Structure 1
Amino acid sequence: MDPGLVDDSHLYLQATHRSQSIWDTSSTVVLSCRRREAASQRTIPFDQLIAPYLEAAGFLGVSQVGFMQLDWHLITALVERWRPETYTFHMPCGECTITLQDVAVQLGLPVDGEPLTGSLRYNWMLICNDYLGVVPPDMKGQRLSLPWLAEQFEELPPDTDIVSVQRYARAYIMQLIVGFLFVDKSNTLVHCMFLQFLFDFDQAGTYTWGAATLAWLYRELCRASNAQSLEIAGPLMLLQSGVQAASEQSGNMLLIYRWTFDRLSRSQINWTPYTPDIMASLPVRCQSGQAVWTYIGPLICFHLVEKHQPDRVLRQFNMLQTPPTISYTNQRLHQIDLRGKHGQDWRRIHAEHIGVLNSRYDFRVEAPTTSEPTVSENYFVLYRSITRRFITQEGAFYHCMYDFVDEVQTFSVEHDIEALGQICDRTTERVDHIIQQTR
């Protein structure tokens, strides 16, 4: 059985990708999806008094997003098709991905503005005292306890002064930031680096919280796509919100999702879900930043630098998709994390990438628009030679059988050979039965 990938110059990290391990071993390992339950349940409750401050800082939209039950099997199946070389999901019908447009529309976060990065050389105890009005009794390096923070802001009395309301708003935003958007693998600790941007709420709204959120998700996807990874964190609601989960659950949902993606056709993807009518009904915050929705270049979140490549998914913008070019991922950047880097000034370290981001209007996609999602004539000729179409050997086998049956059925219909058509129907039923046995 052949998984595809005739030309490996595009997907050059295949040897360490989890799809290679799955093909070789038929692994059914499901990724653990990390989230902070306290934050997802809004331990620090929303109060209408803080709404103006959340709006100014760009977080009112996120505060209104409801709880979403994560489907670990679905997310795992998506990660298996995520490629860190291209920052896209490789489906049989082409590439697709989460873009700045998705972040803006779904979360209402600002995606056009100043990069979210800076120095870690602060007295964080002093910052906590000035911004929150409380000092943590014990800090783990540059992190404070999320349960402790929630205990300090259990409720907001109606006669509270403005300073206290602002402090409460900052604590609530920190809960959203570290518990909903920038989720990491720590269950109870919160990094203080984001707090430095929340003194002035109007100024906070000028930063690209949405772009930073997308950078965080990209990094988590890239890490999780490695064959050795067992978990994934980040804003996973963005990953799941655009995919229809199965209505029926069984013990082997991962296999079912794999099979579904193996057979995914162009018509089964809603490439442009944000219709003019939908966009017109959304708040202004969800429509802002359209000038950079097709920006090609780095996304920055402190130490993270990840690539936004809408040129590979132009069908999502009603533009003509041409064959993709080779995309090189900077492995040095991909290995950077915060461990042991308490005094770094990331604005200085990433100055080159910030320079590109500051010229973002000069790095936007230019392509012919189309009335419906369209690819050029030669797109699939190249794409099918450089993509990994199948994740498992079973998937490749089932696909070959279905293709054969489809071809014979077409022949039988055209030549009105009823008996042959019936045989093909029975064969298809047998294949379906085999699939059902894997559930």
Structure 2
Amino acid sequence: MMSDLPDLLRRSCDAGHRCHLWLNPNAHSNPPPVFRVRTIKNRFLVNNVYEEHLRAHGLLPFSKLTSSKEKFTLDPSLLSALVDRWRPETHTFHLSCGELTPTLKDVSMITALPIKGTPLVPAAYSSIWPTEVQDRLGVAMPATSRGGSRPRGVPLSWLVNNFQELPAEADAAIMSRHLFAYLLYLFGIMFPSSHGDIVLPGLIKIAENIVDSPPPPSPIYSFGSAMLAYTYRGLCDATKKTRASSKGHILAVSAEFLQLWSWEYLPVGRPRILNPIHPYGDKTEQYAPLTFGSRWVHAKKRWSNNVAHGCYPEYHQQFEELQETMVKWDPYTEHDVYIVWGLVKPPPDMLRDIRLWFTRCNLLFIWMVEPYNPERVMRQFGKHQNIPPPSPRRLVADVHTQDNKGLSCFDWSQRNQTWITKWIDEAESDGVRENRRYNGEILPTYNEWYRASTRTLLTGPPPSSPTHLTWASAYHRDTSIDEFRQIAQDAQDTLNLRNMDSTEGKSMVKRIFNTAIKGLRRLGCSRNDDVVSRAFDMPEAPSNRPSMVRVSQPSATPTVLVPSTSHTSNTRCDSSLLERSQSAHISQRHGATQEDVIFRHIHLDNDSPTQKANTRKDSTLRNLLTLRGPTLELV
């Protein structure tokens, strides 16, 4: 009996998933909408006066990442492309080459936020919290635009405008007010609301406890697990955002963390670091305490001109053709630590909670309860991956989807008491046990299982047959796509040869292209623009566009730029004009193209009758190359 869905997917999660806007292009005129992310014009820079409290609660590294003078630009198109591949069933991204997900290890290495501690599930907040916040800060909050009703949260812009500047001779009371305002701002960055640039009222009590208590010897709250829970829930909710909105849907995740995570692992949208601040040393004391994320935030970055920066359709294509060798599966190896830190020892905050990286406990944040499945992505930890991985831990629907709509001032600490107790008592002891190192020899077996168990590509299925029939058919389909891509790549490599002047050589290349195009069409490329043209790989030139190459080296080592040979493009797509047509793939020529060079080399004498006859024959091949391009790929 054939199954409608692969084993890892569930109908309740798949129905309405935004990936279907890519899978069924004939039913939708546009790709999924691009998300908006929180943007604040004026940032709340951290003051040295706050550092004692921030350090004691494990918040200082994250504060230095998000409240620095250096501008960190978020990429909504990259984050939107990631949402397309997020699966709520497993809490992982289902990429063409395997599962990948942000883990507690990533939280530690990128942000150094504490994981051990009390979950962020405070008691119910007061129904008159706006008045209490105003009394504590001594400044009236702006009137709400919601018809006189209570505001949804504390406005971030109001906090920045009124409390960014700490008076030079501030007394203890004034410093306490400004610290309270800064903590609310920091929580607004860590847990951005889908309702706009506000701080959730449930976090007010946490900020009060930090300000009103002396600095503890070790962090009290598990901010790291809360941020990951919030990111998981935000990604799950975002998969259902399929309709265009006048203002655009807000992606309610810790966007800075998720984008830094993507840059660590994936080449899509990743910038090249210029004038790196690593290896860390005396010159980086102003940014301390440092993490892996510091080198991205505080260094000057540049994007390559090979691909369009911030272009959602382009990022989608790059994820479609992502190969296993292009992923940095474990970006925190000893070698990576040496590259980033050199002879400087990494701060203990990053490794403080290593025993909780493999926990089996659910992650908590106020009303959210999110399963955590590290055993599905053991390669990210450099550990052996069981095939198949254990079934993902799941919650009953009413727990995983519970929210605070209509439940303002609700006491979630009582509702989630079971999960809170389990985290406090068992998070450190109940973990995945695996001492074996990862062995690449299991990769073929993993690929065979993985391709048969999920939807690896967001390519439209053939119109007359289902995408997934059996393990064998699913594996055959995805493998065939890889084989046809390789045919196209072989043809491109052949065209690079300048001595390809024989009729047999040109005929062979034409046959290769025809075979690849026909095969891709049979495998689901039903639109005219499914096979798009890629321009000739031009030399690297200074630009502000993203590079597909991961370059992270000590400043003492010369930087070597290696332009991509199989995933480059001069395609320019305006993300505001996302029409699914040939007009979305207009390429601008920059210098001689690949076929121009070849034909210029072949036709040295166009006056002879033989050459004129060859010219007519070759024009057919030129047209084929112009229409189909030297590299074929799936949209």
- Category of TM-score, reference length = shorter chain: 0.7 to 0.9
Q: Distance in 2 between matches of 1:250 and 1:301?
A: 37
Q: Is the contact made by 1:33 and 1:233 (CA closer than 8 Å) also made in structure 2? A: no
Which region of structure 1 is more displaced relative to structure 2, 182-191 or 123-132?
Answer: 123-132
Going from structure 1 to structure 2, the CA distance change for 1:7 and 1:138 (only over 3 Å counts) comes to closer
Q: Is the contact made by 2:114 and 2:223 (CA closer than 8 Å) also made in structure 1? A: yes
When the two chains are superposed, the root-mean-square deviation of aligned CA atoms in Å is: 3.6
Q: Distance in 1 between matches of 2:123 and 2:170?
A: 33
Q: Distance in 2 between matches of 1:278 and 1:135?
A: 49
Query: Could you tell me which of 168, 179, 182 is aligned with 2:191?
Result: 182
Q: Would you say 1:83 and 2:87 are equivalent positions?
A: yes
Letter in 1 for 2:180: R
Deviation digits for residues 232-273 of structure 1, max 9, x if unmatched? Answer: 122112222223316345499333222222222221111111
Give the C-alpha shift of residue 136 in structure 1. 3.9
Q: Highest Rg: 1 or 2?
A: 2
Q: Would you say 1:253 and 2:311 are equivalent positions?
A: yes
Aligned to 1:158: 168
Aligned to 2:350: 286
Going from structure 1 to structure 2, the CA distance change for 1:103 and 1:48 (only over 3 Å counts) comes to same
What secondary structure sits across from 1:305 in the alignment? strand
Q: Is the contact made by 1:92 and 1:264 (CA closer than 8 Å) also made in structure 2? A: yes
TM-score, normalising length: structure 1: 0.85
Going from structure 1 to structure 2, the CA distance change for 1:109 and 1:252 (only over 3 Å counts) comes to closer
Deviation digits for residues 222-241 of structure 1, max 9, x if unmatched? Answer: 01112536521221122222
Q: Distance in 1 between matches of 2:514 and 2:166?
A: 65
Which region of structure 1 is more displaced relative to structure 2, 167-176 or 377-386?
Answer: 377-386
Q: Distance in 2 between matches of 1:399 and 1:192?
A: 50
Q: Would you say 1:45 and 2:64 are equivalent positions?
A: no
Aligned to 2:361: 297
Q: Distance in 1 between matches of 2:239 and 2:349?
A: 32
Aligned to 1:148: 158
What secondary structure sits across from 1:89 in the alignment? strand
Aligned to 2:389: 324
Letter in 2 for 1:300: L
Give the C-alpha shift of residue 92 in structure 1. 1.8
Going from structure 1 to structure 2, the CA distance change for 1:348 and 1:229 (only over 3 Å counts) comes to farther
Letter in 1 for 2:133: C
Going from structure 1 to structure 2, the CA distance change for 1:152 and 1:70 (only over 3 Å counts) comes to closer
What secondary structure sits across from 1:214 in the alignment? helix
Q: Distance in 1 between matches of 2:22 and 2:142?
A: 47
Q: Distance in 2 between matches of 1:167 and 1:373?
A: 54
How many pairs are equivalent? 429
Q: Distance in 2 between matches of 1:235 and 1:183?
A: 7
Q: Is the contact made by 1:320 and 1:376 (CA closer than 8 Å) also made in structure 2? A: no
Give the C-alpha shift of residue 424 in structure 1. 6.7
TM-score, normalising length: structure 2: 0.60
Q: Would you say 1:341 and 2:351 are equivalent positions?
A: no
Q: Would you say 1:390 and 2:404 are equivalent positions?
A: no
Give the C-alpha shift of residue 287 in structure 1. 2.5
Q: Distance in 2 between matches of 1:221 and 1:157?
A: 40
Q: Distance in 2 between matches of 1:300 and 1:70?
A: 26
Which region of structure 1 is more displaced relative to structure 2, 68-77 or 314-323?
Answer: 68-77
Aligned to 1:169: 179
Unmatched runs of 5 consecutive residues or more in structure 2: 145-149, 271-303, 468-476, 495-503, 518-530, 535-568, 572-581, 586-635
Going from structure 1 to structure 2, the CA distance change for 1:421 and 1:163 (only over 3 Å counts) comes to farther
Which region of structure 1 is more displaced relative to structure 2, 169-178 or 223-232?
Answer: 223-232
Deviation digits for residues 80-110 of structure 1, max 9, x if unmatched? Answer: 1100010000012210001111112211211
Aligned to 1:192: 201
Q: Distance in 1 between matches of 2:513 and 2:327?
A: 29
Query: Could you tell me which of 337, 354, 370 is aligned with 1:306?
Result: 370
Q: Distance in 2 between matches of 1:324 and 1:33?
A: 34
Letter in 2 for 1:404: F
Q: Distance in 1 between matches of 2:433 and 2:505?
A: 51
Going from structure 1 to structure 2, the CA distance change for 1:85 and 1:379 (only over 3 Å counts) comes to same
Q: Would you say 1:202 and 2:215 are equivalent positions?
A: yes
Letter in 1 for 2:52: P
Aligned to 2:297: none
What secondary structure sits across from 2:432 in the alignment? coil
Q: Is the contact made by 2:88 and 2:236 (CA closer than 8 Å) also made in structure 1? A: yes
Aligned to 2:236: 222
